[in-house]
Amino acid sequence: MQLICEGVPFQKPENFVAAGVVGLDLNISNVAYVADGNAGLLAFAHKVPTFEREISAIQRKMQRSQRIANPDNYEPDFEAQKGRHVVTKKGKVKKGRLRWHKTKRYIKLASRKRELQRRKAAYSKSQNRKLVNDILRTGNQIKTENVSVKGWQKRYGKAIAAKSPGFFQSQLKRKAESAGGSFTKFSTQKTALSQTHLTGERIKKSLSERVHYDQSGIVMHRDLFSAFLARYVDENQLSLQDAFMAYPGMESALLEAWQRYKQSANRVSVAESRSAHPPVEQISSVSEKPNQIDDLRSGRKVS
């Protein structure tokens, strides 16, 4: 039996959707957003357990069980030189079509592994849905670059699986359009927000450089500055004049968002940041400058 209810589903009061333009910059491990008088740099799937040690231990047990139950499917063990010592290495799986016998122990271990992976995915989706609701409280007209999440999956693999930026993007699009807003993607090649300066120049930078040193004198986190510029993109055209005029009113919100991100990043352990947040973000102390807009006004005009 299938039950279909008529009308609009109940919505929690705290999950309201505000009207306004939100510039978004999607990264591998976090998302930067800039709305009207509000900005933030938030991590995907914050505090989500990865169960990496448990899953690795189960995989080793499954491998041993397979070797014991299917000895004919593996090449014989062999001795190899490792430094000054001779060690015995396990033979590889034989080529061709093989028949595998799965023991009860193997099936039980595989079930435990699937349950841990399911729990990890459920935690990640739950946290990313909260992140979507937080952003929609600041605006429902989303503007972001058309990034390739599939390309990230090929390059970063496990980090993408743990953070799920593709799921976040699809949920944000669905909820924004459902609330009467819009979700607009524009070309990364035509706008090149991470390379663009308010003076109109484009200067390439490596992925490890997370701080944007603008030619006008502004120093800002790379993702936050890209999200700020995304607000002023219309039909793949960036209006630098509008961005130049609007920056003085947004500077304090951007600096506060960067400061909050640095405080949260300091609480992340080194091991967690290496395994789940590539590339490592380098924070500069130059951002502590109290007022950057004075240099902007005294610098060159936007062409």
Q: Are 100 and 70 in contact (CB under 8 A)?
A: yes
- Residue with tokens 């940041």, as numbered in its chain: 273
Least confident of 101-115, 141-155, 215-229: 141-155
Closest CA to 160 of 269, 27, 23, 24: 27
Its pTM stands at: 0.74
pLDDT single digits (tens) 237-282: 888 899 989 998 999 999 999 998 888 776 554 444 444 444 444 4
Supply the pLDDT for residue 267: 59
pLDDT tops 50 at residue 174: yes
Tokens describing residue 51: 């169960």
- Band the pLDDT of 65: cuts 50, 70, 90: very high
Tokens describing residue 130: 């909260």
Share of the chain above pLDDT 90, in %: 38
Supply the pLDDT for residue 235: 86
Yes or no: domain 16-48+122-298 corresponds to CATH 3.30.420: yes
Spell out the domain ranges in the chain.
Answer: 16-48+122-298
d(CA 247, CA 53): 46
Phi/psi of residue 21, each to 5°?
A: -95, 135
d(CA 153, CA 163): 11
pLDDT single digits (tens) 209-239: 889 998 888 899 999 999 999 999 998 888 8
> What are the CA-CA distances from residue 220 to residues 64, 182, 207 (Å)?
51, 27, 15
Tokens describing residue 219: 């120093």
pLDDT mean over 159-170: 84
Supply the pLDDT for residue 294: 54
Phi/psi of residue 156, each to 5°?
A: -110, -10
> Parallel, antiparallel, or unpaired: how do β-strands 38-43 and 30-35 relate?
antiparallel
- Band the pLDDT of 298: cuts 50, 70, 90: low
pLDDT tops 80 at residue 4: yes
- Residue with tokens 């919100």, as numbered in its chain: 253
pLDDT tops 70 at residue 153: yes
